[in-house]
């Protein structure tokens, strides 16, 4: 069992249109204005920026990006899969047996501080004080014990905490990515998803700035300007 703090990561697996997502958006978008004759080398970026300023973001749906997230919690994935339209594939706790349990906890908490007093339900009602690390280890012992007792994965997983480590791949169009960044990078977002999505936002601002450079990044959150 391993405790992870601020270790959530992303890998961009693909940006569609063979590395020319802006050109695809321009090709599609100019159909609306019947201005295909204005397509030339370097015109895509200016056209996409104009679309964004006009609020004509539906055209951004013609290009998409696929991202792999790892060292994140099941709580992270539960929040992410609420977004639509998008496609998701995530590590299954039904078909994958947890071998080395990862547990994600807040970055400002001490996993070894004994904070919680537990009452052992025996005849003497013994009390013990445990840390987050010890409690996570007890969860893992329960999970493994149930597996050894013959419980199948989908039944034993009922006792895994929401902080259990997970992995997920998401594909969605640029317009939805903008929506995800707007919600998940805000001050009000959960600390874990905010940190991981902020890292991704910094990455895509370097790769395709014209799509995402209207987000202002602060020390620990971002906002659309």
Residues taking part in catalysis = 184
Count of other CB atoms within 10 angstroms of residue 129: 11
Query: Cis omega (within 30 of 0) on the bond before 47?
Result: no
Residue 180, phi then psi, degrees to nearest 5 = -60, -45
102 within 8 A of 5, measured Cβ to Cβ: no
Count of other CB atoms within 10 angstroms of residue 199: 13
* Residue 11 bridge partners (DSSP): 68
Taking the alpha carbons at both ends of the chain, their separation in whole angstroms is 42
10 within 8 A of 67, measured Cβ to Cβ: yes
């Amino acid at each position: 069992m391993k405790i992870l703090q601020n270790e959530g990561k992303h890998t961009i697996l693909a940006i569609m249109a063979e590395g020319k997502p802006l050109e695809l958006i321009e090709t599609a978008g100019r159909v609306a204005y019947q201005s295909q004759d204005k397509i030339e080398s370097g015109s895509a970026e200016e056209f996409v920026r104009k679309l964004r300023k006009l609020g004509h973001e539906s055209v951004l749906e013609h290009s998409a990006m696929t991202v792999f997230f790892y060292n994140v919690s099941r709580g992270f994935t539960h929040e992410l899969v609420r977004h639509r339209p998008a496609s998701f594939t995530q590590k299954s706790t039904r078909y994958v047996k947890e071998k080395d349990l990862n547990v994600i906890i807040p970055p400002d908490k001490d996993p070894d501080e004994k904070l919680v007093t537990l009452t052992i339900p025996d005849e003497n009602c013994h009390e013990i004080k445990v840390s987050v690390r010890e409690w996570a280890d007890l969860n893992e012992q329960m999970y493994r014990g149930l597996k050894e007792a013959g419980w199948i994965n989908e039944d034993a997983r009922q006792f895994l905490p929401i902080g259990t480590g997970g992995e997920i791949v998401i594909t969605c169009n640029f317009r939805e990515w903008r929506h995800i960044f707007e919600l998940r990078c805000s001050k009000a977002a959960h600390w874990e998803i905010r940190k991981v999505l902020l890292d991704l936002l910094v990455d895509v601002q370097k790769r395709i700035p014209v799509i995402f450079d209207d987000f202002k990044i602060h020390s620990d959150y971002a906002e659309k300007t």
